[in-house]
Structure 1
Amino acid sequence: MAESTLNQTSKVFGSGKDGICIIKCLTDIPGGRSLDVSRIPAEYDVISAGHIVISKAGQYILLGVTGGKFATLTEGESYVGVLRTAIMRQDPRGAIVTSGQVNGACTPFPIDDAIAKGLPHIEFLFTDKRN
Protein backbone atom coordinates (compact mmCIF):
# COMPACT_ATOMS: atom_id res chain seq x y z
CA MET A 1 0.00 0.00 0.00
CA ALA A 2 1.25 3.50 -0.79
CA GLU A 3 2.49 5.48 2.22
CA SER A 4 3.66 9.04 2.75
CA THR A 5 5.67 10.86 5.39
CA LEU A 6 3.51 13.70 6.65
CA ASN A 7 6.30 15.83 8.12
CA GLN A 8 7.96 16.78 4.82
CA THR A 9 8.34 20.40 3.83
CA SER A 10 6.35 21.53 0.83
CA LYS A 11 7.79 22.95 -2.38
CA VAL A 12 6.32 25.33 -4.91
CA PHE A 13 5.62 23.61 -8.22
CA GLY A 14 2.94 22.97 -10.82
CA SER A 15 1.80 24.08 -14.21
CA GLY A 16 -0.42 26.93 -13.09
CA LYS A 17 -3.55 25.02 -14.15
CA ASP A 18 -4.57 23.93 -10.66
CA GLY A 19 -6.96 26.83 -10.28
CA ILE A 20 -8.83 26.15 -13.52
CA CYS A 21 -8.77 22.37 -13.83
CA ILE A 22 -11.31 21.62 -11.10
CA ILE A 23 -14.20 23.95 -11.82
CA LYS A 24 -16.42 22.76 -9.00
CA CYS A 25 -15.76 20.23 -6.25
CA LEU A 26 -19.01 19.01 -4.73
CA THR A 27 -17.56 16.03 -2.87
CA ASP A 28 -14.13 14.57 -2.31
CA ILE A 29 -12.42 11.90 -0.25
CA PRO A 30 -11.97 13.47 3.19
CA GLY A 31 -8.31 13.98 4.02
CA GLY A 32 -7.13 12.83 0.59
CA ARG A 33 -5.01 9.72 0.13
CA SER A 34 -1.47 8.55 -0.46
CA LEU A 35 -1.33 7.47 -4.09
CA ASP A 36 0.57 4.72 -5.86
CA VAL A 37 2.57 6.40 -8.66
CA SER A 38 4.21 3.24 -10.03
CA ARG A 39 2.23 3.38 -13.29
CA ILE A 40 3.34 6.90 -14.14
CA PRO A 41 6.40 7.15 -16.41
CA ALA A 42 9.57 8.18 -14.55
CA GLU A 43 9.95 11.45 -16.49
CA TYR A 44 6.89 12.89 -14.71
CA ASP A 45 8.22 14.49 -11.51
CA VAL A 46 5.00 16.48 -11.14
CA ILE A 47 1.61 14.84 -11.60
CA SER A 48 -0.87 17.48 -12.73
CA ALA A 49 -4.29 18.35 -11.39
CA GLY A 50 -6.93 16.51 -13.38
CA HIS A 51 -5.11 13.18 -13.39
CA ILE A 52 -7.49 10.24 -13.02
CA VAL A 53 -7.38 8.19 -9.80
CA ILE A 54 -8.42 4.54 -9.71
CA SER A 55 -8.54 1.85 -7.05
CA LYS A 56 -7.71 -1.82 -6.83
CA ALA A 57 -7.85 -3.98 -3.72
CA GLY A 58 -8.16 -0.95 -1.45
CA GLN A 59 -5.21 0.93 -2.93
CA TYR A 60 -5.50 4.33 -4.60
CA ILE A 61 -3.52 4.44 -7.83
CA LEU A 62 -2.87 7.12 -10.43
CA LEU A 63 -4.13 5.83 -13.77
CA GLY A 64 -1.22 4.87 -15.99
CA VAL A 65 -0.19 6.74 -19.11
CA THR A 66 0.57 5.10 -22.46
CA GLY A 67 1.43 6.97 -25.64
CA GLY A 68 0.18 10.33 -24.41
CA LYS A 69 -3.17 8.88 -23.27
CA PHE A 70 -4.62 7.52 -20.07
CA ALA A 71 -4.33 3.73 -19.96
CA THR A 72 -7.39 1.50 -19.78
CA LEU A 73 -8.50 -0.27 -16.64
CA THR A 74 -7.51 -3.85 -15.98
CA GLU A 75 -9.56 -6.48 -14.16
CA GLY A 76 -10.45 -5.55 -10.58
CA GLU A 77 -9.84 -1.82 -11.06
CA SER A 78 -12.42 0.93 -10.83
CA TYR A 79 -12.46 4.69 -11.32
CA VAL A 80 -12.46 6.77 -8.12
CA GLY A 81 -12.10 10.42 -9.10
CA VAL A 82 -9.83 13.21 -10.25
CA LEU A 83 -6.70 14.64 -8.63
CA ARG A 84 -7.59 18.10 -7.30
CA THR A 85 -4.13 19.72 -7.37
CA ALA A 86 -0.69 18.87 -8.72
CA ILE A 87 1.49 16.63 -6.57
CA MET A 88 5.15 15.73 -6.55
CA ARG A 89 6.07 12.16 -7.50
CA GLN A 90 8.27 11.80 -4.40
CA ASP A 91 5.42 12.99 -2.12
CA PRO A 92 2.28 11.48 -3.65
CA ARG A 93 -0.39 12.76 -1.27
CA GLY A 94 -3.43 14.14 -3.02
CA ALA A 95 -6.99 15.33 -2.69
CA ILE A 96 -9.41 13.39 -4.88
CA VAL A 97 -12.58 14.94 -6.31
CA THR A 98 -15.42 12.40 -6.57
CA SER A 99 -18.26 14.68 -7.64
CA GLY A 100 -18.25 18.00 -9.47
CA GLN A 101 -17.08 19.61 -12.69
CA VAL A 102 -13.67 19.25 -14.35
CA ASN A 103 -12.24 21.36 -17.17
CA GLY A 104 -11.42 18.63 -19.69
CA ALA A 105 -9.39 21.08 -21.77
CA CYS A 106 -6.68 21.23 -19.12
CA THR A 107 -6.50 17.65 -17.86
CA PRO A 108 -3.02 16.22 -18.47
CA PHE A 109 -4.37 13.73 -21.04
CA PRO A 110 -7.64 13.49 -22.99
CA ILE A 111 -10.72 12.16 -21.23
CA ASP A 112 -12.21 9.26 -23.19
CA ASP A 113 -15.73 7.83 -23.02
CA ALA A 114 -14.72 5.03 -20.64
CA ILE A 115 -13.43 7.54 -18.08
CA ALA A 116 -16.46 9.80 -18.44
CA LYS A 117 -18.83 6.84 -18.00
CA GLY A 118 -16.75 5.45 -15.13
CA LEU A 119 -17.02 8.73 -13.22
CA PRO A 120 -20.74 9.53 -13.59
CA HIS A 121 -20.74 12.12 -10.79
CA ILE A 122 -18.08 14.20 -12.52
CA GLU A 123 -19.04 16.38 -15.47
CA PHE A 124 -16.12 16.85 -17.86
CA LEU A 125 -16.57 20.22 -19.58
CA PHE A 126 -14.67 21.71 -22.57
CA THR A 127 -13.18 18.36 -23.67
CA ASP A 128 -13.61 19.56 -27.26
CA LYS A 129 -11.29 22.53 -26.58
CA ARG A 130 -8.06 20.52 -26.10
CA ASN A 131 -5.03 21.66 -28.09
Structure 2
Amino acid sequence: MATVNLTDDGVQVNTEKDNVAIRKVFATVPGGKALDVTGFAPLVINAGHPIIFETATKEYKPLPVNAGQTAYASLPTGHVYAGVLIASILTKKASAAILTQGVINPEACPYDFATVAAAVKTAMPLIGQQAD
Protein backbone atom coordinates (compact mmCIF):
# COMPACT_ATOMS: atom_id res chain seq x y z
CA MET A 1 0.00 0.00 0.00
CA ALA A 2 1.24 3.50 -0.80
CA THR A 3 2.48 5.66 2.04
CA VAL A 4 3.33 9.34 2.31
CA ASN A 5 6.57 10.66 3.84
CA LEU A 6 5.61 13.63 6.02
CA THR A 7 9.18 14.80 6.72
CA ASP A 8 9.72 18.31 5.32
CA ASP A 9 12.98 18.96 3.46
CA GLY A 10 12.06 22.57 2.62
CA VAL A 11 11.40 22.14 -1.12
CA GLN A 12 8.79 24.48 -2.59
CA VAL A 13 6.18 23.68 -5.23
CA ASN A 14 5.10 26.33 -7.74
CA THR A 15 1.30 26.38 -7.57
CA GLU A 16 0.64 29.46 -9.72
CA LYS A 17 -1.12 27.44 -12.47
CA ASP A 18 -3.24 25.29 -10.14
CA ASN A 19 -6.30 27.56 -10.26
CA VAL A 20 -5.95 27.88 -14.03
CA ALA A 21 -5.64 24.12 -14.64
CA ILE A 22 -8.58 23.23 -12.36
CA ARG A 23 -11.49 25.48 -13.30
CA LYS A 24 -14.35 23.93 -11.31
CA VAL A 25 -14.54 21.22 -8.68
CA PHE A 26 -17.88 19.48 -8.18
CA ALA A 27 -16.75 16.13 -6.71
CA THR A 28 -13.54 14.50 -5.49
CA VAL A 29 -12.31 11.19 -4.14
CA PRO A 30 -13.37 11.55 -0.49
CA GLY A 31 -10.37 12.24 1.76
CA GLY A 32 -7.90 12.09 -1.12
CA LYS A 33 -5.41 9.28 -1.67
CA ALA A 34 -1.74 8.50 -1.18
CA LEU A 35 -0.29 7.92 -4.63
CA ASP A 36 2.06 5.08 -5.52
CA VAL A 37 4.86 7.02 -7.26
CA THR A 38 7.18 4.06 -7.84
CA GLY A 39 9.09 4.74 -11.06
CA PHE A 40 7.65 8.26 -11.48
CA ALA A 41 10.69 10.48 -12.17
CA PRO A 42 9.42 14.11 -11.96
CA LEU A 43 9.97 15.76 -8.56
CA VAL A 44 6.59 17.53 -8.71
CA ILE A 45 3.19 16.30 -9.86
CA ASN A 46 1.35 19.39 -11.08
CA ALA A 47 -2.35 20.19 -10.89
CA GLY A 48 -4.17 18.84 -13.92
CA HIS A 49 -2.12 15.63 -14.08
CA PRO A 50 -4.32 12.57 -14.77
CA ILE A 51 -4.49 10.05 -11.94
CA ILE A 52 -4.87 6.36 -12.72
CA PHE A 53 -5.97 3.35 -10.69
CA GLU A 54 -4.37 -0.09 -10.85
CA THR A 55 -7.22 -2.58 -10.67
CA ALA A 56 -5.13 -5.50 -9.33
CA THR A 57 -3.46 -3.67 -6.43
CA LYS A 58 -6.13 -0.98 -5.85
CA GLU A 59 -3.37 1.69 -5.92
CA TYR A 60 -3.77 5.24 -7.24
CA LYS A 61 -0.86 6.57 -9.33
CA PRO A 62 0.04 9.54 -11.52
CA LEU A 63 -0.22 8.76 -15.23
CA PRO A 64 3.35 7.94 -16.34
CA VAL A 65 5.32 10.41 -18.44
CA ASN A 66 7.81 9.64 -21.18
CA ALA A 67 11.55 9.28 -20.49
CA GLY A 68 12.22 12.89 -21.44
CA GLN A 69 9.45 14.12 -19.11
CA THR A 70 7.88 16.05 -21.99
CA ALA A 71 4.62 14.16 -22.58
CA TYR A 72 2.23 11.68 -21.00
CA ALA A 73 3.00 8.01 -21.60
CA SER A 74 0.26 5.59 -22.56
CA LEU A 75 -2.10 4.12 -19.97
CA PRO A 76 -0.43 0.99 -18.56
CA THR A 77 -2.18 -2.36 -18.89
CA GLY A 78 -4.38 -3.15 -15.88
CA HIS A 79 -5.02 0.53 -15.10
CA VAL A 80 -7.98 2.85 -15.60
CA TYR A 81 -8.29 6.63 -15.43
CA ALA A 82 -9.51 7.67 -11.98
CA GLY A 83 -9.44 11.47 -11.94
CA VAL A 84 -7.26 14.55 -12.18
CA LEU A 85 -4.90 15.99 -9.56
CA ILE A 86 -6.40 19.15 -8.05
CA ALA A 87 -3.29 20.74 -6.50
CA SER A 88 0.42 20.46 -7.26
CA ILE A 89 2.34 18.21 -4.87
CA LEU A 90 5.85 16.90 -4.35
CA THR A 91 6.32 13.37 -5.65
CA LYS A 92 7.96 12.38 -2.37
CA LYS A 93 4.87 13.64 -0.48
CA ALA A 94 2.26 12.23 -2.81
CA SER A 95 -0.88 12.88 -0.79
CA ALA A 96 -3.38 13.82 -3.50
CA ALA A 97 -6.75 15.51 -3.82
CA ILE A 98 -8.36 13.92 -6.89
CA LEU A 99 -11.03 15.56 -9.05
CA THR A 100 -13.74 13.16 -10.26
CA GLN A 101 -16.32 15.70 -11.46
CA GLY A 102 -15.61 19.23 -12.63
CA VAL A 103 -13.88 21.20 -15.36
CA ILE A 104 -10.20 21.38 -16.27
CA ASN A 105 -8.29 23.65 -18.62
CA PRO A 106 -6.28 21.24 -20.79
CA GLU A 107 -3.98 24.04 -21.98
CA ALA A 108 -2.80 24.65 -18.41
CA CYS A 109 -2.11 20.99 -17.66
CA PRO A 110 1.53 20.07 -17.07
CA TYR A 111 2.11 18.17 -20.34
CA ASP A 112 0.48 18.20 -23.79
CA PHE A 113 -3.05 17.12 -22.89
CA ALA A 114 -4.02 16.53 -26.51
CA THR A 115 -2.28 13.15 -26.37
CA VAL A 116 -4.70 11.88 -23.71
CA ALA A 117 -7.71 14.20 -24.10
CA ALA A 118 -9.94 11.76 -25.98
CA ALA A 119 -9.16 8.84 -23.66
CA VAL A 120 -9.72 11.00 -20.56
CA LYS A 121 -13.04 12.30 -21.95
CA THR A 122 -14.23 8.75 -22.67
CA ALA A 123 -13.08 7.34 -19.32
CA MET A 124 -14.15 10.32 -17.20
CA PRO A 125 -17.16 11.98 -18.85
CA LEU A 126 -17.92 14.02 -15.70
CA ILE A 127 -14.67 15.97 -16.12
CA GLY A 128 -15.16 18.63 -18.75
CA GLN A 129 -12.29 20.12 -20.73
CA GLN A 130 -12.53 23.84 -21.41
CA ALA A 131 -9.61 25.97 -22.56
CA ASP A 132 -9.44 29.74 -22.09
Q: Which residue of 1 aligns with 2:105?
A: 103
Q: Determine which of 90, 104, 122 is the counterpart of 1:117.
A: 122
Question: What is the number of residues matched between the two proteins?
Answer: 124
Which one of the candidate residues 63, 71, 74 is aligned to 1:72? 74
What's the TM-score, normalizing by structure 1?
A: 0.84
Shift of residue 24, structure 1, vs aligned partner: 0.4
**Which region of structure 1 is more displaced relative to structure 2, 52-61 or 110-119?**
110-119
Residue in structure 1 matched with residue 21 of structure 2 by the alignment: 21
Question: Which digits, 9 at most, give the CA deviation of each residue in 1:58-117, with x for residues without a partner?
Answer: 100110001522111232210000000000111110100001000111101122211222
Conservation of the 8 A alpha-carbon contact between 1:36 and 1:61: yes
The letter for the 2-side match of 1:32 is G
Unpaired segments ≥5 residues, structure 2: none
Alignment of 1:1-131 (within 5 A): 1-5=1-5, 8-9=7-8, 12-41=12-41, 44-56=42-54, 57=56, 58-66=58-66, 67=68, 68-111=70-113, 112=116, 113-126=118-131
Preserved CA contact (<8 Å) 2:5 2:92: no
Letter in structure 2 aligned against 1:95:
A
Contact 1:87 1:93 in 2 (8 A): yes
The SS at the match of 2:108 is coil
SS in 1 for 2:48: coil
Residues 39, 120 of structure 1: alpha-carbon distance in 2 compared, 3 angstrom cutoff: farther
Q: Distance in 1 between matches of 2:76 and 2:40?
A: 15
Gaps of 5+ in 1: none
Higher strand share: 1
Aligned CA RMSD, in angstroms, stands at 1.9
Q: CA deviation at 1:40?
A: 2.2
Q: Percent same amino acid at aligned positions?
A: 33
Whether the aligned pair in 2 keeps the contact of 1:99 and 1:121 (CA below 8 Å) is yes
SS in 2 for 1:98: strand
**TM-score of the pair, normalised by structure 2:** 0.84
Partner Cα distance (1:108, 1:40) in 2: 14
